[in-house]
Amino acid sequence: MARTSVNSSSSPIGIFDSGVGGLTVFKEVRKLLPFEDMVYLGDTARVPYGTKSQEVVIKYSIQNAEFLLSKGVKTIIVACNTASAASLPYLKDHFPEVEIIGVISPVVRYIKTNLHSLTKVAVVGTKTAITSGAYQRALQEALPGVKVLSKPCPLFVPLVEEGMFDHRVTDAVIDMYLSEIREAKVGAVILGCTHYPMLKKPLQKYFGEKVAVIDTAFHTAVSLDSVLCEKSLKNDRSVDGRNEFYVTDSVESFKKTAELFLKFSVDQVFHI
């Protein structure tokens, strides 16, 4: 695939995810940067990444980045915690010509700046994201001495995809995975998977209002904004940006979920 990245301010922002979860990041970027064009790639034919090996996730991530570069994007957001955890250093090595932003550093930077008195923090995510140790390493580097607990929660994604945001089964699963973390009295819980913000309400209720339940989407959008400013890549027009979506499986089923996530009508969806 030809790399036609032009790195000009009028080029679109590229985002990829294993499927629909990255739309939570897309949504925050859309709100913060309304004048940017955006190209989203959801690898729905191979979703999920969170149960697959690091080796396979790296391979898929490189292919996704190649595709976005062929669309001339000026920057790439890896809007998937698993792909960020497993493949970000490989992607940066492989594509030095373009700025690549994952979802892990932005939230770690936010915690370092805003929650510096934190002594215990937990991160929850997919099996691959948690076993990669990427979050744990990034947190311990940024906040030396902080105690990091972690827990893979493989049933959360299927629960979200079943729309069970407010359900006794979901509450029971939350308790099954997270009772030890609640007992450990952490100050913050990072939702290390782009699906998990859909469970923020029951999770916040479970941990209580004193615990910060933090998702990565908003902080990723803020990081992107900084990077674009720094590199003078921000689109300086005042016209609403265009959205283009590419998927590797069914257009129809993606369109339906995307409209549920984004709460606006989604037209430009293409199969690749």
Positions annotated as catalytic residues are 80, 193
* Closest listed residue to residue 86, CA positions, set 42, 128, 44: 128
Number of residues that bind a second copy (CB under 8 A): 26
Q: Compute the least distance from the CB of residue 46 to a second copy, in Å.
A: 5
CB-nearer residue toward a second copy: 116 or 167: 167
* Residue 166: count of CB within 10 angstroms of its CB: 11
What does each C-alpha distance from 220 to 3, 81, 258 come to in angstroms? 25, 11, 19
CB-nearer residue toward a second copy: 41 or 214: 41
Length of the chain: 272
Residue ranges in 22-51 that form contacts with a second copy under rule CB under 8 A: 44-47, 51
The residues that bridge with 214 in the sheet, in sequence order, are 190
CB-nearer residue toward a second copy: 10 or 250: 250
Q: Compute the least distance from the CB of residue 193 to a second copy, in Å.
A: 14
* Closest listed residue to residue 156, CA positions, set 204, 101, 187, 194: 194
CB-nearer residue toward a second copy: 63 or 140: 63
Pick one of 55, 209, 236, 267: the residue that binds a second copy (CB under 8 A). 55
Contact between 249 and a second copy per CB under 8 A: yes
Angle, CA 82 vertex, CA 215 and CA 41 arms, to 5°: 90
Q: Which of these segments, 32-40, 87-95, 170-178, 179-187, binds a second copy (CB under 8 A)?
A: 170-178
Contact between 162 and a second copy per CB under 8 A: yes
Angle, CA 152 vertex, CA 146 and CA 156 arms, to 5°: 125
Q: Compute the least distance from the CB of residue 15 to a second copy, in Å.
A: 21
Percent of the chain as helix, strand, coil, to the nearest 5: 45, 15, 35
Residue ranges in 69-98 that form contacts with a second copy under rule CB under 8 A: none
Contact 226, 34 (CB under 8 A): no
Contact between 260 and a second copy per CB under 8 A: no
Interacting residues of 139 by C-beta distance below 8 A, sequence separation 6+: 108, 111, 121, 123, 146, 148
Contact between 203 and a second copy per CB under 8 A: no
Q: Compute the least distance from the CB of residue 246 to a second copy, in Å.
A: 15
* Closest listed residue to residue 101, CA positions, set 43, 187, 33, 15: 15
Pick one of 10, 119, 253, 268: the residue that binds a second copy (CB under 8 A). 253
Pick one of 7, 62, 161, 241: the residue that binds a second copy (CB under 8 A). 161
Q: Compute the least distance from the CB of residue 173 to a second copy, in Å.
A: 6
What the block records as the tokens of 15 is: 């985002």
Give the interface with a second copy as residue ranges (CB under 8 A): 44-47, 51-53, 55-56, 154-155, 157-159, 161-162, 167-169, 172-173, 176, 248-250, 253
